[in-house]
Amino acid sequence: MDIRLDGIEIDGRLHAYPIPLADLEALFDEEPDKIDGLGGRRAGFWSWRETGLTAKHTDGVHVLNLRLKVDGPAHRVRIEGRPFDEEFGPTGPTYPSRDLGDGYVGVRRTDPGPGQHVADIIVEQKVRRPKRKKAAPAKKKPTPVPDAVEFKDLNFKLLVVQDLMYDKGLLEPAFDLGEFIDGFADRDIDADTEGHAPIPEALAYFAELPVPRAMLSEVVALEQDGGNDVYLQIAPLWSGEDDSFDVTDFSDVELLPNLRSMTLTGVDEETLESLRKRGIEAELL
């Protein structure tokens, strides 16, 4: 594999960004495991276990990022024709990254120690949004509503917003990061360079977003996965590899009288059991 500015070369063939999932599927004899979007969303993962390759997507068609598991030093991977270790070195911090113009490349290393080496290579295309002619600045803050609920945990609130805004279409208007950026006058937000982590202004929008108490009875099931629309609107290039959106306080379940099930990431068995004692079917993704 050669990671290039204009795409990824695999076995001598260049796959230009954005790489179609079908092109990857045709490369291998192995049938991929397809964990596609939950709750009507199209985002998900395709995984070739024997090959050690996982592709994340958000539209069911194109790859957002590729993760390649490697054994020992990543000598089989090159960057613009150079040996991978010349770019990253055999040791160093976990998750260093490089900007390659149309994409990014990063690594996750094994545990620190004398035998430390690269464990995973992540290649991610940039999300390009068309430039729009700036109109009058859009409202940066949501309109207040009566009887809005106050959540103790913002990441729990994001799960509720995912269900009400993006899955059910009840909480309107649906937040669109591109439109938000176009109408934001305080500073220039570059989602291509900032989108690996939550963009502060987008996160602040959801923190201030009023959720009417009357809507909460509509929430029956909450599903948390890296392809949640609300996460991609806050951090469009988020890899899903850190705790940015982990819920730490689940006391907000008391606000949801009809909540029956939760599918979660980043929680331990003790937390799951405490939710089950509340009558909620709680499982890990």
Would you state the pLDDT for residue 137?
47
**pLDDT above 70: percentage of residues in the chain:** 83
Would you state the pLDDT for residue 203?
96
Would you state the pLDDT for residue 41?
56
Pick 227 or 243 by higher pLDDT.
Answer: 243
| Range name among 110-124, 195-209, 229-243 with the lowest pLDDT average | 110-124
Would you state the pLDDT for residue 216?
96
Pick 32 or 92 by higher pLDDT.
Answer: 32
40, pLDDT greater than 50: no
Would you state the pLDDT for residue 42?
63
Confidence of residue 276 (pLDDT cuts 50, 70, 90): very high
Pick 121 or 263 by higher pLDDT.
Answer: 263
Output the six-digit token pair for 161. Answer: 């917003």
Q: Tell me if the pTM is above 0.85.
A: no
In sequence order, what are the residues at sequence separation of 6 or more whose Cβ sits closer than 8 angstroms to the Cβ of residue 149?
A: 210, 211, 212, 213, 216, 255
In sequence order, what are the residues at sequence separation of 6 or more whose Cβ sits closer than 8 angstroms to the Cβ of residue 157?
A: 151, 206, 207, 211, 252
94, pLDDT greater than 70: no
| Range name among 144-148, 231-235, 257-261 with the lowest pLDDT average | 144-148
> Element (H or E) spanning 127, and its range?
none
Mean per-residue pLDDT over the chain, rounded: 83
Task: Determine the Cα–Cα distance for residues 283 and 245; give it in Å rounded to an integer.
Answer: 17
Instruction: List pLDDT tens digits, range 128-149.
Output: 544 444 444 445 566 667 789 9
Burial 157-169 (b: 16+ CB within 10 A, else e): bbbbbbbbbbbee
Pick 170 or 72 by higher pLDDT.
Answer: 170
Please list the residues that pair with 242 across neighbouring strands: none
Instruction: List pLDDT tens digits, range 1-26.
Output: 888 877 888 888 888 888 888 988 88
Q: What is the pLDDT averaged over residues 170-190?
A: 91
